Structure 1
Amino acid sequence: MTFNYPSSVSLVEVGARDGLQNEKAEVSTEQKVTLISLLAASGLKRIEAGSFVSAKWVPQMADSADVFARLAAFEPASGAQVTYSALTPNVKGLEAALSAGVSEVAIFGSASESFSQKNINCSIDESLRRFEPVVKLAHSNRIRVRGYVSCTLGCPYEGDIASSDVARVSRQLSEMGCYEVVISDTIGTGTPVKTARVLDAVMQHVPVNQLAVHFHDTYGQALANIHTALQLGVSSIDSAIAGLGGCPYAKGASGNVATEDVLYMLDGMGIKTGIDLSALLEASLYISDVIGRLPQSKVAIALRGG
């Protein structure tokens, strides 16, 4: 196997959405905006800032329209262009996102039939059909769409998932018009060998420059899995500040891989990101204080002296 490390990597910060929506602590709109502002100040240029879903099911994201309204007036001191994206599972959600001025959205499917039913109450094929009008409307408004594939390295209900199933869903999202397909280890059971196997299968159908990875760190494998993805040429990585998050439909899943830990590894490998670790740690310590716990990040704990 030929290793093909990228010279630079684009980190997609998901802590303010995928992270906070799974935290029990209440975080105000003002605190969310402060967090996102600190993240942007560190050099992050892609930040998932909210989710336009039913407040009944995800009450933590009920204020997403207000968050985006406040972000519209914020400009990072660096002057860099930052993309603030949102999750939009259906046309209603997309219409709300458009009204809020969102410039990029994401949809989410699954490689597991059982998880699809538990998560969005429909089959995989039904979910993909539901996404077609969402993508079409987004494109008609010149909005880019990112597509998540959940449970690619394991499912809480089915166990192992066939790489061919992951490849099929990934190909369909790409063909539908998603500019980037995110291979997601929703419950954090993946290992480097599994990661390589799944990515190899997906790359037969989707070019590597259209792929991203999203790992949870349940068994401490996230950085090793990311390293495997880097070896295969993947240059877009999701992560969450302070290791925020989990998954409400995946019992036992811990938080996302911490952005600080990913950045420390990338810096040590000489891979460019444009992000300042010291500034990033300010965001990590801020949100950790807000939610009342230590950051789930080895780097933050080590540098804090804990």
Structure 2
Amino acid sequence: MTLPRAVRIVEVGPRDGLQNEAQPVPVAVKVELIERLAAAGLTAIEAGSFVSPKWVPQMASSAEVMAAITRCPGVSYPVLVPNLQGLEQALAAGAADIAVFAAASESFSKKNINCTIAESLDRFAPVIDKALAAGLVVRGYVSCVLGCPYEGDIAAEAVADVARRLLDMGCAEISLGDTIGTGTPGKAQALIETVAARVPVERLAAHFHDTYGQALANIFAVMEKGVAAVDSSVAGLGGCPYAKGASGNVATEDVVYMLNGLGITTGIDLDKLVQAGDFICRELGRTTESKFARAKGCAMISG
């Protein structure tokens, strides 16, 4: 068994984790969460999203959040941008890192952003070109890599095609997302083998949802294949919209606990991370989804 000596964790809680909250989360709360995460040692923290507030009202305050956070040396604060207008807003907010989203499923792409996969990539091309020209780092996300809520299984070659296109367009890293959390370790390893034939494995990241309780096992499995970047969300913030009541993002606390047990370096202070999760759960009035934090008695909120 060969595992990475160090793993880079991309914290998606402040963006992916909060974007579906029904009640507005105050800017001050978002800022404190981000700063607590940075203090815990996270070096990549998704800070917001410059999408239309009509579609994602929770992210309407992203410019205010970007203006208010104290930016720590060595920490990146990427934001999601869907188009050139979003990129202009991100640039005005002082973003140095952005992310774009594509899908490996035609049905998901059409239902989610109302265009085909090819059309979505064509739309991203000028966004990525302009971002790179401005000196920004661009990350690409691919959704539905291990299953689609509309199509079921997705061919690994289809994932590899989208990932390679994003790489060729200038994305520094490609995050492979198991959007509905149906992936299992064997399928996850097979996916990485196929995609890594087209995209260097050191340019790949894993974004596994825990809807079926497989996220940690899948992360371990792809680390065996050389993946050394993992997306996760503090306290497991963010549900799965395609499985009512199900958990979504894997909890950062649980990922760090597993990596610590494997002797893999993350640079993250687990105690401070748990405190950050406890803070945001109490602000939201919810129970943490982190098994580790629950075992420590954190944010066990009823109602």
Q: How far apart are 1:23 and its partner, in Å?
A: 2.3
Structure 1 segments unaligned to the other structure (5+ residues): none
- Deviation of 1:81 after TM superposition, in Å, equals 1.7
Of 251, 259, 269 in structure 2, the residue corresponding to residue 258 of structure 1 is: 251
For 2:182 and 2:24, locate their aligned partners in 1 and report how far apart those are by CA, in whole Å: 28
| Contact 1:147–1:180 under 8 Å retained in 2 | yes
Aligned to 1:44: 42
2:85 is matched with 92
Q: Tell me which of 127, 145, 150 is aligned to 1:152.
A: 145
Q: 2:224 aligns with which of 211, 227, 231?
A: 231
Q: Report the residue type matching 2:51 in the other structure.
A: V
What TM-score results when the alignment is normalised by the length of structure 1? 0.95
SS in 2 for 1:84: coil
Determine the C-alpha separation between the residues in 2 that align with 1:247 and 1:91.
Answer: 28
Letter in 2 for 1:161: I
Q: RMSD of the alignment, in Å?
A: 1.2
The question of 1:221 aligning with 2:214 is answered yes
Instruction: Please tell me whether the aligned partners of residues 86 and 104 of structure 1 are also in contact (alpha carbons under 8 angstroms).
Output: yes
For residues 37 and 249 of structure 2, what CA distance do their matches in structure 1 show? 16
CA distance in 2: counterparts of 1:132 and 1:20, whole angstroms: 28
Which structure is richer in relative contact order (CA contacts within 8 A, separation 6 or more)? 1
For 2:172, the aligned partner's letter is Y
> Paired residues, what number?
298
Cα deviation, residue 178, structure 1: 0.4
Q: 1:172 aligns with which of 155, 165, 170?
A: 165
Distance 1:255 1:194, change over 3 A: same
Counterpart selection for 1:127 from 113, 120, 124? 120
2:172 matched to 1:185? no
Deviation at 1:255, TM superposition (A): 1.9
The gaps in structure 2 that reach 5 residues or longer are none
Q: Deviations over 1:81-136 (max 9, x none)?
A: 21001000111101100000001000000000000001100000000000000000
Percent pairwise identity: 57
Q: Secondary structure of 1:212's partner?
A: strand
Whether 2:244 is the aligned partner of 1:246: answer no
Residues 184-242 of structure 1, C-alpha deviations (whole Å, 9 max, x = no match): 00011110011011111100000011000101100000000000011111111000000
What is the alpha-carbon distance in structure 1 between the residues aligned to residue 79 and residue 89 of structure 2?
A: 10
SS of the aligned residue for 1:81 comes to coil
| Equivalent residue number for residue 30 of structure 2 | 32
